[in-house]
Chain A
Amino acid sequence: MVSELDNVSDANLVVAIARCREPALAEAYRRHGGAVYSLAKRVSGSSDLAEDVTQEVFIKLWESPERFDSARGTLRSFLLSGAHSRAVDLIRSQSARSARERKQAAEIDVSAYDIERHAWDLHLGEQVKKAVGTLPEAERRAIELAYFEGRTYKEVAQLLEQPEGTVKSRIRSGLGRLRGALSKEGVLT
């Protein structure tokens, strides 16, 4: 695939995408397509759904590049956010959910380690892992169920047998703690 755009920033890639330069979209896909697909598959539990979500996310970037705001985050987080949202929509349809739950039931024993397994790459993975390690187990589990399994906070509350308000607070405080730890590590600014 493409390589000549290796040194172009993501923000400038999106500018080029807005100018209908297909190679720029190809480069954005090369950089982030794997992560988008991986998250969509993790959330949906389905290769087919993940493929659909990945296509939708990049076609949407092509059609509405102005929705990306380089001042408010990275292109990767923007794409992952779109993929997550779409994947969650899909799995909340009843038919997809039952299949996914069967799959997840078989994975429940290892799911406590999923956040670590989803650590970015070898370069940043250690720092992300370290930050995740600062979370109390209750916060980490609530975030994991909500984000990686696409559960609503009410569902998380039922699964963890905690009050809904507690779950909401734990998710927010956990995210804040993670953000702080990653900022301390210099991963986030």
Chain B
Amino acid sequence: MNERQPNDRGTQECGPIEDLLGVYALDALASDEERRSVEDHLRDCVTCSDEVFSYRETVGLMASDGGQADEAIWEKIAGHLELGSEPVGQPDWDGIFGRNKPVVGGEPKDNVVQIDTASGRKSDRRRWLAISSAAVAACAAVIAIGVQSVRVDNLNHKVGQLEAAAGQPGAFQGAASAMTNPNAKHFHLVSMNSAAQYMGQLVVLPRGAAYLVGSKLPGLSQEYTYQLWSEVSGKMISVGLLGANPSGNSLTLQTGSVAKAFYVTVEPSGGTISPTSEPVAKAVT
């Protein structure tokens, strides 16, 4: 699936937008209206979006001159970070990649559970301190704990997604972005046998872009391909071919918003109009 497939394109017409992809990647569009129209399209179209990313990667190479970073600018950046728990230049190296560091207000508390990353930001802590002061302290503290917990949960979620994306092979495009999209639907592929083994995850964005992430589907001989189907109103509709060795496939679902279940079958290498074999894997919400 590394080659472009017709169904990689979104539901919108790409033609007029394609002409603008290069200049968009270079921030050279002539108006905000043009920029909005391109960005609207990119939200729908995986292939055009990938094209823009590839152009930016390309010009990024041209622009990289490897000059040494200016430490004076870093000092200004560090000043903006407003970190309180770790002075600039005195990092806790051992804890850089530690998880769930039990910190509240910058001070370790052995008896406090869970709160970690967000509490490191001074701005959050300032809000926390402001809320917990004076006569409303007790009541406000309870409310603030709730708000803070939600914030921390959200941040933990993002960290987890970034971490998962960082661990993925770099060959596929867009999956990590989809995984961090709060509006994405996540379908877990499981084998159809009695073991119901986890076979990967299908991440579907609201407007149809979909990604197969972390596929564990076993490799096939080149005469065959995995084919993904969506079930809509009892009918099986082909979503696309996953290839003999699925890895980071990107697809566009014409029926993404209404599909409730997906099936994977093994088909002849060119794919088929309708399934010719029993599904080997299934995904439901």
- For this complex, 23 residue pairs linking A to B, each with C-beta atoms less than 8 Å apart, are A2-B91, A19-B116, A19-B120, A22-B78, A22-B88, A25-B77, A30-B74, A33-B69, A65-B158, A74-B57, A74-B60, A80-B60, A84-B26, A118-B63, A128-B61, A146-B23, A152-B23, A153-B29, A153-B30, A175-B22, A175-B59, A178-B62, A182-B61
Q: Check: A24 CB closer than 8 A to any chain B CB.
A: yes
Question: Does A101 make an interface contact (CB < 8 A)?
Answer: no
Of chain A, the residue at the smallest CB distance from B88 is A22
Q: Give the chain B neighbours of A30 by CB distance below 8 A.
A: 69, 74
Instruction: Tell me, rounded to whole Å, the shortest Cβ–Cβ distance linking B100 to chain A.
Output: 10
Contacts of A84 in B (CB 8 A): 26-27, 63
Given contacts A15-B162, A71-B168, contact A120 B81 (CB under 8 A): no
When distances are taken between beta carbons in the complex, the residues of chain B under 8 Å from A49 are none
In the complex, what residue of chain A is closest to B171 when comparing beta carbons? A189
Contacts of A72 in B (CB 8 A): 50, 53, 173-174, 176-177
Q: By DSSP majority rule, is chain A's interface helix, strand, loop, or mixed?
A: helix
Q: Which residues of B contact A31 (CB under 8 A)?
A: 69
Bound CA–CA A152/B64 (angstroms): 22
B118: which of A20, A35, A128 is its contact (CB, 8 Å)? Answer: A20
Q: Assess whether A121 is in contact with B64, with CB atoms less than 8 Å apart.
A: yes
Q: How far is the CB of A163 from chain B (nearest CB, A)?
A: 12
Smallest beta-carbon distance B161→chain A, Å = 7
CA distance A51 to B158 in the complex (A): 29
Residues 162-189 of chain A, each 1 if its beta carbon lies under 8 Å from chain B, else 0: 0001011101111110110010000111
- Contact bitstring A4-29, B, C-beta under 8 A = 1, else 0: 11000101101110111111111001
Q: Tell me which residues across on chain B come within 8 A of A165, comparing CB atoms.
A: 19
Considering the chains assembled together, what is the distance between the CA atoms of A20 and B95 in angstroms?
11
Contact assessment for B81 and A35 in the assembled complex, using a CB-CB cutoff below 8 Å = no
Which residues of A sit under 8 angstroms from B80, Cβ to Cβ? 55, 59
Closest A residue, CB atoms, query B83: A22
Q: Which chain B residue has the least Cβ–Cβ distance from A86?
A: B27
Contact A175 B58 (CB under 8 A): yes
Q: Which residues of A contact B27 (CB under 8 A)?
A: 84-85, 88, 147, 150
Contacts of A120 in B (CB 8 A): 61-62, 64-66
Closest Cβ–Cβ distance, residue A90 to chain B (whole Å): 11
Check A73–B83 contact: CB distance below 8 A.
no
Q: Are B19 and A168 in contact (CB under 8 A)?
A: yes
* Residues from chain A with Cβ under 8 Å of B25 in the complex: 175
CB distance from A154 to the nearest CB of B (A): 5
User: Bound complex: CA of A173 vs CA of B18, how far in Å?
Assistant: 11
Cα A181 to Cα B86 in complex, Å, equals: 45
Instruction: Give A150 to B159 CA distance when docked, in angstroms.
Output: 34
Measured between alpha carbons, how far is A153 from B21 in the docked complex, in Å?
Answer: 12
Task: Please state if B23 and A29 are interface contacts (CB–CB under 8 Å).
Answer: no
Q: How far is the CA of A169 from the CA of B20 in the complex (A)?
A: 8
A23-B91, A152-B23, A171-B26 given; name 16 further pairs at CB < 8 Å: A2-B91, A18-B159, A21-B97, A23-B92, A34-B65, A34-B69, A37-B67, A55-B80, A73-B56, A80-B63, A115-B62, A118-B63, A147-B59, A147-B62, A152-B29, A188-B57
Write out, one digit per residue, whether chain B residues 138-165 have a CB within 8 A of any chain A CB (1) or not (0): 0000000000000000010011011101
Chain B residues, CB < 8 A from A188: 54, 57-58, 61
In the assembled complex, B224 has its CB within 8 A of some CB on chain A: no
By a CB distance below 8 angstroms, the chain A residues around B86 are 22-23
Chain B residue with the shortest CB-CB distance to A4: B93
- Complex Cα–Cα for A99 and B119 (A): 44
CA A20 to CA B155, docked complex, whole Å = 10
B4 within 8 A of A: no
Q: Which of A33, A150, A156 has the most CB of B within 10 A?
A: A33
Q: Say whether A104 faces chain B, with CB atoms less than 8 Å apart.
A: no
A173 to chain B, nearest CB (A): 8
Chain A residues with CB under 8 Å of B172's CB are 71
Interface residues of B in 169-228 (CB under 8 A from A): 170-177, 180
B62–A128 contact, CB under 8 A? Answer: yes
Does A20 contact B55, Cβ atoms closer than 8 Å? no
